[in-house]
Chain A
Amino acid sequence: MLNDLKKIWHPIASSAEVQKRHVFHAQLLGREYAVWRADDGNVNVWENRCLHRGVRLTIGINEGTELRCQYHGWRYANRTAGCTYIPAHPADAPARTICNNTYPVKEAMGMVWSGEEAFAEPVHFKNFEKYTVLRPIPINGNFNIIREMLSAKYRLLGHTTRDEVNGVLKVILKNGEVILFFVQPQDSNLSVLRGVVNQKYSDSERVLFLRAQNRILQSLRNDIEVLSKKRQIDPMIVQIAQVSSELSKMPQKKDIGRQAVLRVQVAEKKKTAKDIVSIKLVSLRDQLPTFQPGAHIDLHLQNGLIRQYSLVNGPGETNFYNIGVKLDALSTGGSEYLHKDIREGDVLACSVPRNNFPLRRDSLKTIFVAGGIGLTPLLSMAQSLDVMNLNYEFHYFVQNEDHIAFSSILKKLKKTPLVHQGLSPKLTKKKLNEILLYHNNSMNLYVCGPGPMLETTRQVAAELDWPDNSVHFEYFKNSNVIDDSSSFKIELARSALSLKVQSGQSVLEVLRANGLDLPSSCEQGACGTCKVSVVDGAIDHQDVYLNESEKLKGNVMMTCVSRALSKRLILDI
């Protein structure tokens, strides 16, 4: 019986009750739900329990794009329910897979429907194109008792009643209007009686009608509650939904390999600036996985190339991935292909979003320095700081007005971005000196742009004594020429394996050839995905991901390009 009830759709709220910036508290078959509508209209039905320490999400805050837990401020994205930020560890990107438990949801006939294991569609009722939802009546009583007494009550009043599928009761009023009644079983002794009539009234008529029905139902409730007091039933037993085993332990798992697990379709392609197109990708099947600001995806093109693109999405924009692609004069086929050959409707494969450029949100002030198309990850970050009302400054260096991309997003930012146009390298440096002059230890700098500009920014920051760990950067690509002539040995501390890396081979390739599936993305030392810890040995760093002090420390390396200076390296894998 209970199992059958789990499989059908139940109304759990009136649509009107799930108001903007509100979190509605629902319960169905013993399990509690937090139901909230994002500003884009989407309704989320989540288990009412923050996966961190179990705090009810109905006491949390609906911020319009994300739901924030009251206990430790974890943020969960609209639709995916994926955690996008863990304030206790501002420098880390939360594991993509930390996701609250979500349940199916549909909106129909002015009500929000869900069911623990509901599938297909809620039952469709004919002649309900126009409707008015009655005031829902919570009743301390069992749903079976309520169904019986409900039908008797309306018959007594001279109306006709008929049983429909799934325990729905149809009441045909004397004037011909039809009310459908649904009893939402919250728990064994607790239900909500929900009704909808196939009529839309004028404002004053509506209130009269709602009041009249409300009166009938409240009197029915009194009768039911008298009876139910004597007939208490054991509460329903709720299986606590489990988290995956990797999440139940402390260390976080990374995605493996350079896999294209998602099938996406180009939903929109449009020019956003000179030589830059904005592409929106939507999922062909399931919900797209959660991203965090700073994240990128690997796009697998039909011509066999794989390219990395940062997401421009703001928080809670979870039903598409938005990227910006700049036509590169020296294109080896990636940007040219996306500019010329790709059309709306085309299907591509891409990786899940990875975040090797996480945004700290514990700074008193964040400075963004974007150059050209380097705007994209920083724009995503600025939108996140906006919803949290955190302080930042946004600097955007472009050749001229025609090169300003994503201006509609830029315009929406609460802090007007400062656009610096047409500066020569010398003037750019001067400007950067002005921007970076003042700093203290609760500021962070995020830079992304073409190589030379990035180098200059890092250099200016270093000259002005910005601490290395407050300067965060992301290169598009590694333009260094990789010297892979050395050969050396690697020992794997945890798997007690000893392997040889010949000249011409990368550490990553050797590891893969020996069955160790390490994650990677750009495979040119720019993105940071293939990072491993080094226990012993001198590293020949050839990447552009690590900063100078990290390189000097010598305890991590990018296995796709970096090698050994010593005869052997001991890796922590």
Chain B
Amino acid sequence: MEISCKDPVILNQWHPVSSLDVLTMDTVENTILLESKISFQLNSKEEVTAWLSLDDEKTLLPTRISYGFIWVSLGNPPKDLFLFPEFSESDRQNVATGVFGVNVSAGRTVENFLDMGHFPYVHSGILGEEPHTEVKEYDVEISEERDEVLATSCKFYQPQAAVNSNEGMDVDYIYRVPHINCALLYKTSPVDDARLDVIIIFVQPMGEEWVRAHTGMCLIDDESTAEQIRQFQQTIFGQDKPILENQYPKQLPLDSRIETPIRADKSAIAYRRWLSQKGLQYGVIPSAI
């Protein structure tokens, strides 16, 4: 079976293909990964098999189940997936908030997730509000040890930071990008200000300009129902989607001469640099040199 994607960097990754909660045992599901049609089936809570749909021999692809999602690789994936310890904390609600098709590259989708400057415009009245538009200085590092991009001490003014507050306040954020197509956001929990809620986006590249964005939340909140949480997250992602689909070029420019970064984009710059260092070619416009 011929796989059309030839970029080893992306082929050798684990890719999310479905959240567990929507699957029925022993039912074959079909999806697309890196332009190849693949099929998979949940055999038990711990075991999943996957194969190229058009492969008569049904050679099995590497699979794993982690963090409430099925992961598949078309190459030789690393033994481990990134760490996400909060997922297993017993007092948290893990909610898969839905998967959405977006006509854009995975890189653009991840980068938008790291971006705070758009809150007052795209998520007006929810995650931000004019004239509180400032993105204050924050710290970014590319951690070599963990091989991830980390943005800390991020702060942003939010009109209604918590369910029971009627005044705006600065909310603290931490962003992690531990996988080229996956990002996690940590945000002060409205219920317990010593702990952080986690919001995730795991992107499945169907093609270079066509993705499935899997979203989820891992919350300490025990008041909101799973349905309310899903609804909130869908509204937010529904607002981001048309922005993403109106970005030109659709592939993420690693060539610095295409766009104009500002200090607020530090995390995006680090993310682009990290992708360049990895030599990623798929779904990006590689830097000129």
Direct contact, A vs B (beta carbon within 8 Å): yes
Complexed CA–CA distance, A363 and B130 (Å) = 9
Any A CB within 8 A of the CB of B4: no
Give the number of chain A interface residues (Cβ < 8 Å): 35
A88 CB contact (under 8 Å) in B249, B264, B285:
B264
> B259 to A51, Cβ gap below 8 A?
yes
> A52 to B120, Cβ gap below 8 A?
no
> B247 to A53, Cβ gap below 8 A?
yes
Any B CB within 8 A of the CB of A515: no
> A54 to B259, Cβ gap below 8 A?
yes
> A250 to B257, Cβ gap below 8 A?
no
Q: Give every chain A residue within 8 A of B132 (Cβ-Cβ).
A: 362, 442
> A364 to B249, Cβ gap below 8 A?
no
A73 CB contact (under 8 Å) in B121, B243, B248:
B121
> B256 to A249, Cβ gap below 8 A?
yes
Q: Give every chain A residue within 8 A of B261 (Cβ-Cβ).
A: 248-250
B10 smallest CB distance to A (angstroms): 22
Q: Give every chain A residue within 8 A of B117 (Cβ-Cβ).
A: 72, 87-88
A residues whose Cβ falls under 8 Å from a Cβ of B: 32, 48-49, 51-56, 59, 70-73, 86-91, 98, 240, 242-243, 245, 247-250, 361-364, 390, 442
Complexed CA–CA distance, A246 and B216 (Å) = 39
A96 smallest CB distance to B (angstroms): 13
A94 smallest CB distance to B (angstroms): 8
New A-B pairs, 16, CB < 8 Å, besides A52-B259, A88-B135, A362-B133: A51-B259, A55-B243, A72-B117, A73-B120, A86-B262, A87-B130, A88-B117, A88-B133, A240-B249, A242-B258, A243-B259, A243-B260, A248-B259, A249-B256, A250-B266, A390-B131
> B257 to A242, Cβ gap below 8 A?
yes
> B118 to A248, Cβ gap below 8 A?
no
CB closest chain-A residue, reference B168:
A442
Give the number of chain B interface residues (Cβ < 8 Å): 34
Q: Give every chain B residue within 8 A of A53 (Cβ-Cβ).
A: 111, 115, 247, 259
Q: Give every chain B residue within 8 A of A71 (Cβ-Cβ).
A: 118, 121-122, 243
Q: Give every chain A residue within 8 A of B263 (Cβ-Cβ).
A: 88-89, 250
> A32 to B133, Cβ gap below 8 A?
no
Q: Give every chain B residue within 8 A of A390 (Cβ-Cβ).
A: 131
Complexed CA–CA distance, A442 and B253 (Å) = 37
B18 smallest CB distance to A (angstroms): 30
Any A CB within 8 A of the CB of B32: no
> B134 to A89, Cβ gap below 8 A?
yes
Q: Give 29 CB contacts A-B under 8 Å.
A: A52-B259, A52-B260, A52-B262, A53-B115, A53-B247, A53-B259, A54-B247, A54-B249, A54-B253, A54-B259, A70-B121, A70-B243, A71-B118, A71-B121, A72-B118, A72-B121, A87-B120, A87-B133, A88-B116, A88-B135, A98-B260, A242-B258, A245-B257, A247-B260, A248-B261, A249-B256, A250-B266, A361-B133, A362-B133
> A55 to B133, Cβ gap below 8 A?
no
In the complex where A73-B121, A88-B117, A88-B262 touch, is A56 in contact with B246 (Cβ < 8 A)? Answer: yes
Any A CB within 8 A of the CB of B11: no
Complexed CA–CA distance, A52 and B117 (Å) = 11
- The B contact surface, by secondary structure, is loop
Q: Give every chain B residue within 8 A of A363 (Cβ-Cβ).
A: 131
Q: Give every chain B residue within 8 A of A245 (Cβ-Cβ).
A: 257
Tell me which residues from 68 to 104 in chain B have a Cβ below 8 Å from any Cβ of chain A. none
B residues whose Cβ falls under 8 Å from a Cβ of A: 111, 115-118, 120-122, 130-135, 242-243, 246-249, 253, 256-266, 269, 285
Q: Give every chain A residue within 8 A of B118 (Cβ-Cβ).
A: 71-72
B245 smallest CB distance to A (angstroms): 9
Complexed CA–CA distance, A361 and B131 (Å) = 7
Complexed CA–CA distance, A251 and B287 (Å) = 19
A385 smallest CB distance to B (angstroms): 10
Q: Give every chain B residue within 8 A of A240 (Cβ-Cβ).
A: 249, 253, 258, 285
> B260 to A362, Cβ gap below 8 A?
no
Q: Which 8 A-B pairs have the closest CB atoms?
A: A87-B133, A88-B264, A248-B256, A88-B117, A88-B135, A242-B257, A56-B246, A362-B131
> B258 to A243, Cβ gap below 8 A?
yes
Complexed CA–CA distance, A52 and B263 (Å) = 12
Q: Give every chain A residue within 8 A of B133 (Cβ-Cβ).
A: 73, 87-88, 90, 361-362
Q: Give every chain B residue within 8 A of A52 (Cβ-Cβ).
A: 259-260, 262
Q: Give every chain B residue within 8 A of A49 (Cβ-Cβ).
A: 248
CB closest chain-A residue, reference B116:
A88
Q: Give every chain A residue within 8 A of B264 (Cβ-Cβ).
A: 88-89
> B122 to A362, Cβ gap below 8 A?
no
A9 smallest CB distance to B (angstroms): 24
Complexed CA–CA distance, A368 and B253 (Å) = 42
Q: Give every chain A residue within 8 A of B131 (Cβ-Cβ).
A: 87, 361-364, 390
B257 CB contact (under 8 Å) in A56, A59, A87, A248:
A248
Q: Give every chain B residue within 8 A of A90 (Cβ-Cβ).
A: 133-134
Give the one of B134, B242, B253 with max A CB within 10 A. B134
Q: Give every chain A residue within 8 A of B249 (Cβ-Cβ).
A: 54, 240
Complexed CA–CA distance, A283 and B282 (Å) = 47
Complexed CA–CA distance, A70 and B244 (Å) = 11
> A48 to B248, Cβ gap below 8 A?
yes
Complexed CA–CA distance, A59 and B102 (Å) = 18
Complexed CA–CA distance, A91 and B133 (Å) = 11
CB closest chain-A residue, reference B122:
A71
Complexed CA–CA distance, A362 and B264 (Å) = 16
A243 smallest CB distance to B (angstroms): 5
Give the one of B115, B117, B261 with max A CB within 10 A. B117
> B121 to A32, Cβ gap below 8 A?
no
CB closest chain-A residue, reference B258:
A240
Complexed CA–CA distance, A240 and B247 (Å) = 13
B169 smallest CB distance to A (angstroms): 12
> A88 to B134, Cβ gap below 8 A?
yes
Give the one of B131, B132, B133, B246 with max A CB within 10 A. B131
In the complex where A72-B117, A98-B260, A250-B263 touch, is A55 in contact with B247 (Cβ < 8 A)? Answer: yes
In the complex where A32-B248, A56-B248, A89-B134 touch, is A51 in contact with B260 (Cβ < 8 A)? Answer: yes
Complexed CA–CA distance, A89 and B265 (Å) = 11
Q: Give every chain A residue within 8 A of B115 (Cβ-Cβ).
A: 53, 72
Q: Give every chain B residue within 8 A of A243 (Cβ-Cβ).
A: 257-260
Complexed CA–CA distance, A248 and B120 (Å) = 25
B176 smallest CB distance to A (angstroms): 21
Complexed CA–CA distance, A190 and B150 (Å) = 45
A531 smallest CB distance to B (angstroms): 18
Complexed CA–CA distance, A161 and B194 (Å) = 80
